[in-house]
Amino acid sequence: MKILHTADWHIGKKLHKHELSKDFDLFIEWLCTCIQEKGVDLLLISGDVFDLANPSSEARKQYYKALLQLRNLNCKIILTGGNHDSPAMLDAPGEILRELEMHVIGSLRDTIEECIIPIKGSSGKIELVVVALPYLRDADLRSAADGNTYEDRLEAIRMGIQNTFLGAAEVCKTQFPDIPALAMGHLYAAGVETSESERDIQIGNQAAFQASQFGEFFDYIALGHIHKPQKVNGLVPTYYSGSPIPLSFSERKDEKRVLILDTEESWIPESIPVPVFRKLLKLTGNLNELQNKLSELINNSMLNNLIELEMIEEHYDATKLYELDKLIQNFDNPGFEIVKSRVNFKNKVTGASELYAGAPQLEDLKPKEVFLELLANHEYETDTNREILGAFDELMEELQQQETANEL
């Protein structure tokens, strides 16, 4: 059986207010061709299908259109929810999609058996069992009796994840003996490389899950959440497929890919690069250097390339700020768009205008970064500091869940 592993589609994503819908359409067209050429039997999508819990009507339309395109290839599909997804929204059409051989699991089910999907081969016999686990939220993993200290909460989360995977493994051993088993998950594993576009989860990622805790029963573990494709050092083959398109400028150098397994040959996947539909360019330098770099750009992409500018100057100069603004307004190079700019003066002065020009804008900061700045103004003991940070991260997680519930 041939299996294709992908994740983190983030349908509806905007990059500095720039729509990435065309990027996703091109990816799906390429994916359909890839599935046909490689003879893929089963498609796994490990979470974060949407970028927002309450996606726009355009994003929902794009999602269902993509599923129909893929369904026309006679390829079975298993899709799980991620931390960006609304479990209720994904689960709503579940029974209809199941009739089309599409299994969508947005939330953890009441019993682990409901997350276990047997896959039949062409002979009609079960050839593979898939444990399709969505993003495990704090409420899924620990109870009020799990302890009150920061470390207690972290350990409860780690053990909750471990027990969920090991419990599923036991069910597979009992109900499907001698059948290969594969697990899907959406979480943060210890030791992986992240990018700017991954949202903090599970107490600020400090509850990082050790891959060895997955155990050694599963033949392969298909992970989502981390956008940089990479292998995880576990007891069995464990991989993040990564996002198929760049979702932030921090991902501009990543080689986006999907992973294909041929279970008759190996459980080590083959990496298939996704074509580059547009480039994300970060140009830095002084005003003259930026002018030269912008004038030398050559377009060879299907979509407009997006540019982030950073002007770096030794001393504050209001004239150069004006010139940079004029440079951006007058920029007209077909195939390129400047979507963001910032200024960095190395030798700062204490004048108000200098402070305003050199400081990061509030829209560029994450809530946690603002909180850390405020926390730095107070002198707390180390343990107290950690407790405060832990409480903040839990509040952010609860707020996200409440927003999801209110939007539905």
d(CA 244, CA 247): 9
| Below-50 pLDDT ranges, the chain | 144, 201-204, 350, 352, 354-355, 407
Q: What is the pLDDT of residue 201?
A: 47
How many Cα atoms sit within 13 Å of 91 on the Cβ side?
13
Q: Which residues, in sequence order, are bridge partners of residue 285? A: 311
Q: Over the stretch 99-108, which tens digit does the pLDDT of each residue have?
A: 888 999 999 9
**Taking the domains of the chain in order of start, what are their residue ranges?**
2-273, 280-359
Q: Under a CB-based contact definition with an 8 Å cutoff, are residues 154 and 386 in contact?
A: no
CATH match of 2-273 with 3.60.21.10 = yes
The two three-digit tokens of residue 297, written as one number: 């750009």
Q: Over the stretch 286-295, which tens digit does the pLDDT of each residue have?
A: 999 999 999 9
Note the pTM of the prediction, 2 decimals.
0.82
Q: Over the stretch 245-265, which tens digit does the pLDDT of each residue have?
A: 999 999 999 999 999 999 999
Can you point out the beta strands (E) in 75-165?
76-80, 102-105, 116-120, 126-132
Q: Under a CB-based contact definition with an 8 Å cutoff, are residues 12 and 51 in contact?
A: yes
Q: What is the pLDDT of residue 146?
A: 58
Q: Under a CB-based contact definition with an 8 Å cutoff, are residues 287 and 323 in contact?
A: yes
Q: What is the pLDDT of residue 197?
A: 62
d(CA 19, CA 5): 25
